[in-house]
Each structure stands twice: as structure tokens, then as C-alpha cells.
Chain A
Amino acid sequence: MRRVAVIGVGVTKFGLHDRTSAELFADAAGDALTDAGIAASAVQALYYGNVVGGETEHQLHTGPQAASVLGIPSVPTTRFETACASSHAAFRHAVMEIGAGVSDVILVGGAERVLNVSTAESTEYFAYASDAVWEQPLGLTFPGVFALIARAHMEKYGTTEAQMAAVAVKNHRHGALNPKAQFQKQITIDQVLRSAYVADPLKLLDCCPFSDGGAAVVLASEEVARRHRKPVWVLASAAASDWMLLGDKRDLARVPATERAAAAAYRQAGLGPTDVDVVELHDCFTIAEIVATEGLGLFEPGAGGRAAETGLTSLGGEVPVNPSGGLKAKGHPIGATGAAQIAEIVTQLRGEAGPRQVDGARTGLTHTLGGNTATVLVSLFGRD
């Protein structure tokens, strides 16, 4: 495999927008191309993440739609859909295509628009990522899936609601340093614990928001990347899946797909969890961050709650997690999230993250989870 680098990144502000998802993507992609200092004519493919466009915008065929709105209609393009991990799956595909020598420059990104519909509607559409025959008819929701995981984690390891709240407080503290974040204000443990239950034991402030937004990254072969400033190298990109049905998951307190994708990524890169300086991971709910830090090997199973509570995952801590604010504070436009996490790690490894910079970060990790934990992508990044 040839070496692959990220040479440009772009992210819109996340939150409420009066623009289509294709417009949001195009905005981010224009910024990514400018950041890379590369002409749009050099782009040989577009791989695109979008999840509920069919529901919220009555828009399918979103790959060419996004390419057309951007103004590069003739490149081959495909929409990837792996629920919330969609643009990370698109990214892995591009890494393999450049690595295999098929293309030299690929644009990867994603976008989502959901704030144009009601919360009840978006709750229903997100639930489509669970099984339509066996689970949706029960009224299972996305927060419900992670509430079941949270309860299992609390039973098995003694994790507390206060430890989960510590994740939210930490990510809001980080998000307050990110001008692109949906929420740029700090919150307290007390505010989280006093917020209303959405799906017990998860409360409103344990949950990431619904968000509109777009993100894009430009990938290039080593030969092209060497002509650009500060290439950030893709050291690994791995995917894993797991059973769709919650009843089939042997241990709800763990996410086997995270463990498998992480093991594959560490093996590809010849690295281990202790080599990682900065992490952007999938904190769609506070418990999701705790379980992910364990699955990635940053902490032992059951130790993730305590790690959050004692500041090990804060900026300045042992291994800073979600310096961007994470999905919790930065926001979670689901089709854009994977690409946005990669953009943050690239920014960190370039040393350009300003007040939220992790000092001296050389190796970064992104982790994106799809829906009911049945899809996980993990990628590793390094700088020269």
C-alpha cells in the first residue's frame, strides 16, 4: 500500500443552518481545497457521507448532488451510509483507493440536515438505524440503545451517573474553546444531573444535540502530499461490525466492534494505545465516550468512568479526549461527524488548534461509531 496523507480540512460551524446538506458540504469542501492549496480539477473522486437526507430533505442520490453543488460534477462519487460513521467509512474507502494506486487525490466529506424537522421526527429517523422488524416496533430510540448500554455498564462496573456527567462537563469545557462548536458554554455536574431524563439513566445533558453541518478532508498520495504544507499521514484505517440486535450482543457493557477495529488499526500502524497523544471519539452519549475509551485500550474495561471523573481525558490530562468538544458540545451532524473528527485531529497534529491545542501531539486517533454499535471505524494519524 502507498502512503496516504490528509492535506486539507474544512468544517462548517455546527448547529442550526438555513442551508441544504449539499450546500453545507460544499462550503466545507471549498475550505478544505483552499486549505490544501490544490485545484478542484485535481480531485479524482468524491466519497460522501449522508444518512437521513431521504427523510429530512427528500434527497437521495446525494453523492452526485453534493458534487454538483460543489461544482465538480464529473468526478466519480458514491454516498456511504453506515449511520453515524458514514463519512469515516467513506474516508477508509478513499485511503484504500489511494493506497492501491487507483487515485492520487480524493475529496471525502459528509453533511447532514435535521434541524428543519421536529425532534419527534428526527428521533424516529435516527431510530431507523436499528432493526425495523425486531426493535423499531418496540419504540426503541437512539438514546434508548445507549441507556441500555449505560445500565449494563453501571451494573457490571459500578459506573455512576456523576461519572457520565463528568464527560459532558469536560466536553463542554473543550467546546467552549472551539469557535465551530454548537455549544460554546460550560456546564456543571449539577446541571447535567438535574436535567430531565430522556431514556433512563441518560438525561438531556448526557446526549449530544441534533445538528446541521458539513465537513470535508482532502486526501492525497505521498507524491502529491509532499508538494503541500504539513501533510498529516494516515497510519491506519480500520472498520469492524457487530450484531445489529441488542439481544445478540453478548455483553452490553462492551462494544466488540470498537475493540476489533482498534486492534486492527493498531496492528496496521505498528502502534498501541500508549502511543496515542490525542483522541477524537464518538461521544453521542456520555456513556459512549466511557465505553469507547475502554474499547480503544486507553483504560481497562470498567475504568473509563473514573478516568473521566479524575480528569485523565481532559485537555492537559494523560490522554486528552475530544479537544474539539466532541459530538456532545461541537455537535453531531451525523453524515459529517467522521470527517469532522479527522479534521480536528489533523488540526491538532499540525499544531494549529489554538487554545484547545494538545501540546506536542504527534499521534492522533479518530473513532466513529454507527448507530447501535454495529459499525465502528478507527483511524490513526501521524506527522513527520
Chain B
Amino acid sequence: MTEPVITARAFFERARAGQLTAVRCGSCGELAIPPRELCPACHARAWQPVPLVGEGTITSFTVIRVAPRAHAADAPYAIAVVKLQEGVSILGRIVDIPLDKVAVGLPVRFRPLGAQDQTSIGFGPLG
């Protein structure tokens, strides 16, 4: 047994402090976010955590208008797949950008979102 390089809990602790973290494979160099046990490219178990700049562009997005119960008060809200400048992608909630300005190709910056003691991944305007 080996200690995990970075657990989901540790990922979100760093995220809460404003730092988006990926893992890089010490064997083949593959970058992954979020962390996982084995490298999907070479199946090695040799990850190192790497801080990301937190900037990227929207590759797809939607505006959720019919929301699950827990998010009903937030609707409508935008969710997007963001391709980070290091090349990996992650899903996040778009904040502080008018819904009609959200677009594919729009540059965004990571921002931790907090609700009910839970940190989740958000992206806001770059500027």
C-alpha cells in the first residue's frame, strides 16, 4: 500500500486556498486532473502533484434552467468544460460572467466556490 499523492479532500483543501492542482506521472509525464490511482497512459503509480496556473478557455457550456433540488435557488446557471492552459480539462460552474456572454473560446480563471462547507470548482472572468 502506498499513500495517495493527493486525495480528493487534499485537492479541495488546496482549491479552497485558490490553488488548482493536477498530478504528473513520474514515469511517462502524463498530466491528469483530478488525481487518480494509476496513470491512464502507462499504468504507473508514480504521481507528483503539480500546481496549475488556473487559466483556460471554455470548450463547451450549458445554461441549466431546470436544476436538481439542491441547486434550484441558483438557476439559471452556467456549467462549462474548461481546457486549462496546461492541456487538461475540467468541469466547473461559471460565475460573474453574464449568461449571454458565456461562449466557446472565452478565457476564464479558476475560482473556488464554497457552499454548505463544500468547495467546488468555479471559473470567473480572466480580467
By the criterion CB–CB under 8 Å, are B64 and A141 in contact?
Answer: yes
**CB nearest neighbor in B for A201:** B62
Q: Of the 9-residue stretches A59-67, A161-169, A191-199, A226-234, which lies at the interface with chain B?
A: A191-199
Q: Quick one: which of B33, B34, B61, B67 contacts A123, CB cutoff 8 A?
A: B67
Q: Quick one: which of A138, A149, A155 contacts B79, CB cutoff 8 A?
A: A138
**CB nearest neighbor in A for B89:** A247
Interface: A127 (CB within 8 A): yes
By the criterion CB–CB under 8 Å, are B66 and A123 in contact?
Answer: yes
By the criterion CB–CB under 8 Å, are B91 and A247 in contact?
Answer: yes
By the criterion CB–CB under 8 Å, are B91 and A119 in contact?
Answer: no
Contact with B along A231-269 (1 / 0, CB 8 A): 000000000000001111000100000000000000000
Chain B stretch 91-127: residues in CB contact (< 8 A) with chain A: 91-93, 104, 115, 118, 120-121
- Count contacts between A and B, CB distance < 8 Å: 101
Interface: B43 (CB within 8 A): no
**CB nearest neighbor in B for A200:** B63
Which size class do B's interface residues fall under?
A: 35 or more
- Bound CA–CA A248/B31 (angstroms): 11
Q: Of the 9-residue stretches A32-40, A101-109, A129-137, A303-311, which lies at the interface with chain B?
A: A129-137
Q: Quick one: which of B75, B79, B89 contacts A140, CB cutoff 8 A?
A: B79
Q: Please indicate the chain A residues that have their CB under 8 angstroms from the CB of B115 in the complex.
A: 137
Given contacts A140-B79, A148-B62, 12 further A-B contacts (CB under 8 A): A123-B66, A133-B8, A138-B120, A140-B91, A141-B66, A147-B62, A148-B81, A152-B81, A155-B104, A197-B63, A199-B64, A252-B60
Closest 6 A/B residue pairs (Cβ): A139-B71, A147-B62, A124-B68, A247-B90, A247-B89, A137-B120
- How many chain A residues touch B (CB < 8 A): the figure is 35
- Bound CA–CA A139/B70 (angstroms): 8
Say how far B34's CB is from chain A's closest CB, in angstroms.
Answer: 6
Knowing A152-B60, A198-B66, A247-B88, the reply to whether A138 touches B81 (Cβ < 8 A) is no
By the criterion CB–CB under 8 Å, are B60 and A120 in contact?
Answer: no
Contact with B along A193-217 (1 / 0, CB 8 A): 0001111111000000000000000
- Bound CA–CA A354/B62 (angstroms): 40
By the criterion CB–CB under 8 Å, are A139 and B89 in contact?
Answer: no
Contact with A along B62-88 (1 / 0, CB 8 A): 111111111110110101111000001
**CB nearest neighbor in A for B83:** A247
By the criterion CB–CB under 8 Å, are A199 and B63 in contact?
Answer: yes
- Bound CA–CA A200/B82 (angstroms): 17
Knowing A133-B8, A134-B34, the reply to whether A123 touches B121 (Cβ < 8 A) is no
Say how far A240's CB is from chain B's closest CB, in angstroms.
Answer: 16
Interface: B19 (CB within 8 A): no
By the criterion CB–CB under 8 Å, are A199 and B68 in contact?
Answer: no
**CB nearest neighbor in B for A207:** B66
Q: Quick one: which of A137, A143, A155, A248 contacts B66, CB cutoff 8 A?
A: A143
By the criterion CB–CB under 8 Å, are B60 and A138 in contact?
Answer: no
Q: Please indicate the chain A residues that have their CB under 8 angstroms from the CB of B90 in the complex.
A: 134, 245, 247
Say how far B126's CB is from chain A's closest CB, in angstroms.
Answer: 19
Can you show 27 pairs from A to B with CB atoms below 8 A apart?
A119-B66, A120-B68, A121-B69, A123-B66, A134-B91, A138-B91, A138-B92, A138-B121, A139-B74, A139-B93, A140-B91, A144-B64, A147-B62, A148-B60, A148-B62, A148-B81, A149-B60, A152-B59, A152-B60, A155-B60, A199-B62, A200-B62, A200-B65, A202-B62, A245-B91, A247-B88, A252-B81
Q: Please indicate the chain A residues that have their CB under 8 angstroms from the CB of B88 in the complex.
A: 247
Q: Please indicate the chain A residues that have their CB under 8 angstroms from the CB of B64 in the complex.
A: 139-141, 143-144, 199
Say how far A337's CB is from chain B's closest CB, in angstroms.
Answer: 21
- Bound CA–CA A168/B56 (angstroms): 35
- Bound CA–CA A121/B62 (angstroms): 21
Q: Please indicate the chain A residues that have their CB under 8 angstroms from the CB of B71 in the complex.
A: 139
Interface: A173 (CB within 8 A): no
Knowing A151-B104, A155-B104, A247-B81, the reply to whether A199 touches B60 (Cβ < 8 A) is no
By the criterion CB–CB under 8 Å, are B74 and A199 in contact?
Answer: no
Q: Which among A133, A136, A143 has the greatest number of chain B C-beta atoms within 10 A?
A: A133
Q: Quick one: which of A121, A201, A246 contacts B91, CB cutoff 8 A?
A: A246
- Bound CA–CA A282/B30 (angstroms): 34
Q: Which among A121, A144, A202 has the greatest number of chain B C-beta atoms within 10 A?
A: A144
Q: Quick one: which of B68, B82, B104 contacts A141, CB cutoff 8 A?
A: B68
- Bound CA–CA A382/B43 (angstroms): 40
- Bound CA–CA A140/B63 (angstroms): 10
